[in-house]
């Protein structure tokens, strides 16, 4: 419940010049790996970097037009064949973080 509230709140904030990159490890049923791969590549902001025969995938998820990365990651478990989704890396940076700082 808290996660859904957080995601909804974050989605309403302006996303000007935001860099939000998430590294995700996904485990899928090995026999469904190609179907899952195809489904993932159709999601805006998702890129599959590698897939193993035993059903592991290394994926990056970024904010995309109308899709916040956190909401995308949360929705991945709805895809048939996905067993587990683990966030293993997160980088967030925005121009707003740099306000007031000087570059030397």
The sign of the dihedral angle between the CA atoms of 80, 81, 85, 91 is negative
3-state percent helix, strand, coil for the chain, nearest multiple of 5? 35, 40, 25
- Helix and strand numbers, DSSP H then E, in the chain: 3, 4
pLDDT (tens digit, 9 = 90+) per residue, 86-99?
Answer: 999 999 876 655 55
Identify whether the C-beta of residue 73 lies closer than 8 Å to the C-beta of residue 3.
Answer: no
Q: Is the pTM of this model over 0.85?
A: no
Q: Which residue segments constitute the domains of the chain, with CATH numbers given?
A: 29-94 (3.30.70.920)
pLDDT in tens, 10-47: 666 665 556 789 999 999 999 999 999 999 999 999 99
Burial class (CB in 10 A: 0-12, 13-18, 19+), 77: exposed
CB 28 within 8 A of CB 83: yes
């Amino acid at each position: 419940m808290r996660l859904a509230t957080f995601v909804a709140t974050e989605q309403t904030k302006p996303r000007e010049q935001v860099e939000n990159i998430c590294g995700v490890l996904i485990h899928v049923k090995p026999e469904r790996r190609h179907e899952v791969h195809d489904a993932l590549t159709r999601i805006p902001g998702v890129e599959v970097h590698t897939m193993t025969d035993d059903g592991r995938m290394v994926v990056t998820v970024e904010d995309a037009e109308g899709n916040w990365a956190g909401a995308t990651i949360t929705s991945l478990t709805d895809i048939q064949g996905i067993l587990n989704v683990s966030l293993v890396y997160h980088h967030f940076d925005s121009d707003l973080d740099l306000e007031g700082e000087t570059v030397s």
